[in-house]
Amino acid sequence: MITMDLLTSSAADIVTQIKKGYVSTEEYIAKIFDHIKKVESNVHAYISLNDLAIERAREVDSAVKRGEKLGKLAGIAIAVKDNICTSNMKTTCASKILEHYIPPYNATVIEMLEREGAIIIGKTNLDEFAMGTTTEFSRFKETRNPWDIERVPGGSSGGSAASLAAGETTLALGSDTGGSIRCPASFCSVVGLKPTYGLVSRFGLVSFANSLELIGPMCRSVYDTALMLNCITGRDSMDHTTLDVDTKDYTATITQGVKGLKIGLVREMISDVDEHVSKTIHDAASKFESLGANLNEVSIDSLQYALASYYTIAMAEASSNLARYDGVRYGIDMGPEGFEWNSYYTKVRSNFGDVVKRRIIIGTYVLSSGYYGKYYLKAQKVRTLIKQEFASLFKTYDLLIAPTMPILPFKIGEKTMDPLHMYMTDIDTVAANLIGIPSISIPCAFTDGLPIGLQIMGDHLSEELLIRAAYAFEEITDVKKVIV
């Protein structure tokens, strides 16, 4: 037996030891559960835990003993955001409406990860239906930032990010509609990747804004991110918006560095940010130069409309997607007896939280007749404009960098009363969703004990390049990613 810290090690290392039989999966999974028991009262990352995880671990161990061929993630613990459907576990979206809902099927990503031997540890907390930037708007609990439990972990995949940073899992899945993977990755000092739209199946991801969102890996290292991405990409017959591209081994080219790459620092994304953030990202830019990249400041004029465009489209789609929660077929049952349809709907749907209600109302408004052209259509035009500006930049630049978040993790409750201010924090992340390009957030530095994330964006399907650059940066920096 070798000694390794199973709570903080990378998936790549643990899986190697499991396959060799040096690490018992059962012990490893049990250790994670013990740790969860210890820290959950502070972190509140999980909504539910998987009772069958230990059993799965034993299966992996006996497969190792029998010398069977094992998957790429054999025995590895994975935390799953609770808006991704799991057939044996509740999938609540942190909403009262789906509090006891168990889907009859697995999301495609869950099927793929389990086929590679990953073990679901539990389902993680989020803002209700992934609508939020702090995970404060879960209807069950507020997840805390493990680096400072007075502060928010970011959101909406706050539970996934916090569980990684607190050593409560080895890998995690998040979803990103306007920054929901990258924001908490930044606030919790972990790695989070939003892949190219269509690279990963959305089948089984409970829709918030279909044209913007995607499932993506959240990890404590860039290498683990590549490893996990290897397992979840590809055309899915259950999702017509997936792209028909060959699966790749993103670890194969990971060490190729950034020498000779043209990298642009996006002026509009760094101009109005916290001074610590600004300084840190400028330092990061210099580090890329020192690694041999050509660095320039670039400007994207249409970005000033990105946030307005994003929220218009996201809320419009959400208002329609969330219409199905009416308590008739599944989810909360309020007893329809004695109610006329509309009043029963009113009764059931009053269980949505205020944040969700606000978005449904605004989304309904922007789609109303007479307003469609003024809002929704205009937002789509802005989207096209942004797409064009980025496309012309990518003719010259391989990658773009920016802060992930314009501010440092803030205190719980600090912004809950000010939705507009809250929306503003998404300013640097939404562009990638609007135009469907990949974007990764990696730990960049700590200032006053609080993490700052670096965002790297690339053209469609440039994940390989993104991962190479992120890995090169990670190699020359030493930023903590876990606190146990």
Partner 1 sequence: MKINIGLEIHCQMTGLKSKLFCSCEADYRGKQPNGNICPICLGLPGTLPLLNKKALENALMLSLALNCKIPDVVSFYRKNYFYPDLPKNFQITQYNSYQISSIGSGGTVEFDHKKVRIRRIQLEEDPGRLVYESGIATSNYTLVDYNRAGVALMEIVTEPDFDDPKDVKLFLNKLVSVLEHLGTCDTKLDGAVRCDVNISQENKKKVEIKNVGSFKEVEKALVFEISRQKSFGIKGIEVKSETRHWDDIRRITIQSRTKEEEQDYRYFPEPDIPAAYLGNELINSLTKQMPELPDARKSRFVENFGLSEQNAQILIDEKDTADFFEESLKLYDDAKEISNWFVTDLKVFINEANGIRSLKIKPSHIAELVKLVNQSTISRNTAKQILQQIVKSGEMPSVVMNNLKATKISNEEALIQIVDDVFAKETIAVRDALKNEKAINFLLGKVIQSTRGRADPKLTTELIRKKIASIST
Q: Which residues are catalytic?
A: 81, 156, 180
Residue 30: closest CA among 65, 61, 64: 61
C-beta closer to partner 1: residue 346 or 388: 346
C-beta closer to partner 1: residue 66 or 329: 329
Q: Does 330 bind partner 1 (CB under 8 A)?
A: yes
Q: Decide: 119 and 86 in contact? Cβ < 8 Å.
A: no
Smallest distance from the beta carbon of 314 to partner 1, in angstroms? Answer: 11
Stretch binding partner 1 (CB under 8 A), from 103-111, 155-163, 384-392, 454-462: 103-111
C-beta closer to partner 1: residue 33 or 129: 129
Residue 445 phi/psi, 5-degree rounding, is: -170, 170
**What whole-number distance in Å separates Cα of residue 183 and Cα of residue 168?**
19
* 431 CB-contact burial (10 Å; exposed 0-12 / middle 13-18 / buried 19+): buried
Residue 199: closest CA among 251, 249, 244: 244
Q: Decide: 234 and 243 in contact? Cβ < 8 Å.
A: no
Residue 92: closest CA among 206, 208, 215, 219: 206
Q: Does 335 bind partner 1 (CB under 8 A)?
A: no
* 312 CB-contact burial (10 Å; exposed 0-12 / middle 13-18 / buried 19+): buried
**What whole-number distance in Å separates Cα of residue 389 and Cα of residue 298?**
11
Residue 374 DSSP class? I
Smallest distance from the beta carbon of 198 to partner 1, in angstroms? Answer: 9
Smallest distance from the beta carbon of 337 to partner 1, in angstroms? Answer: 8
Smallest distance from the beta carbon of 180 to partner 1, in angstroms? Answer: 16
Show the tokens assigned to 155.
């959101």
Pairing of strands 77-81, 119-124: parallel
Each residue 339-358 as x (binds partner 1 by CB under 8 A) or -, in order, gives --xx--x-------------
Q: Does 237 bind partner 1 (CB under 8 A)?
A: yes
Binder among 240, 246, 395, 420 for partner 1 (CB under 8 A):
240
# residues near partner 1 by CB under 8 A: 45
Q: Does 241 bind partner 1 (CB under 8 A)?
A: yes
Binder among 16, 211, 256, 477 for partner 1 (CB under 8 A):
211
C-beta closer to partner 1: residue 294 or 321: 321
Smallest distance from the beta carbon of 204 to partner 1, in angstroms? Answer: 4
Q: Decide: 210 and 317 in contact? Cβ < 8 Å.
A: yes
Each residue 293-322 as x (binds partner 1 by CB under 8 A) or -, in order, gives -----------------------xx-xx--
Smallest distance from the beta carbon of 229 to partner 1, in angstroms? Answer: 21
Q: Decide: 232 and 203 in contact? Cβ < 8 Å.
A: no
Binder among 80, 107, 222, 254 for partner 1 (CB under 8 A):
107
Binder among 328, 361, 476, 484 for partner 1 (CB under 8 A):
328
**What whole-number distance in Å separates Cα of residue 303 and Cα of residue 258?**
26
**What whole-number distance in Å separates Cα of residue 335 and Cα of residue 324?**
17
Residue 67 phi/psi, 5-degree rounding, is: 75, 25
Residue 47 phi/psi, 5-degree rounding, is: -90, -40
**What whole-number distance in Å separates Cα of residue 427 and Cα of residue 304?**
9
Stretch binding partner 1 (CB under 8 A), from 142-150, 216-224, 236-244, 409-417: 236-244
Each residue 43-82 as x (binds partner 1 by CB under 8 A) or -, in order, gives ----------------------------------------
C-beta closer to partner 1: residue 330 or 423: 330
Smallest distance from the beta carbon of 140 to partner 1, in angstroms? Answer: 17
C-beta closer to partner 1: residue 8 or 211: 211
Each residue 165-204 as x (binds partner 1 by CB under 8 A) or -, in order, gives -------------------------------------xxx
Q: Does 245 bind partner 1 (CB under 8 A)?
A: no
Q: Does 22 bind partner 1 (CB under 8 A)?
A: no
Residue 142 DSSP class? P
Show the tokens assigned to 202.
């959305």
Give the length of the chain: 484
Q: Does 376 bind partner 1 (CB under 8 A)?
A: yes
Residue 85 DSSP class? -
Residue 215: closest CA among 321, 96, 111, 329: 111
From the CB of residue 341, how many other CB atoms can be counted at a distance below 10 Å? 10
Cα–chain-centroid distance for residue 166? 17
Q: Does 101 bind partner 1 (CB under 8 A)?
A: yes
Smallest distance from the beta carbon of 379 to partner 1, in angstroms? Answer: 11
Q: Which residues bind partner 1 (CB under 8 A)?
A: 84-85, 91, 93, 98, 101, 103-105, 107, 202-207, 209-211, 237-241, 316-317, 319-320, 323-324, 326, 328-330, 337, 341-342, 345, 364, 367-369, 372, 376-377
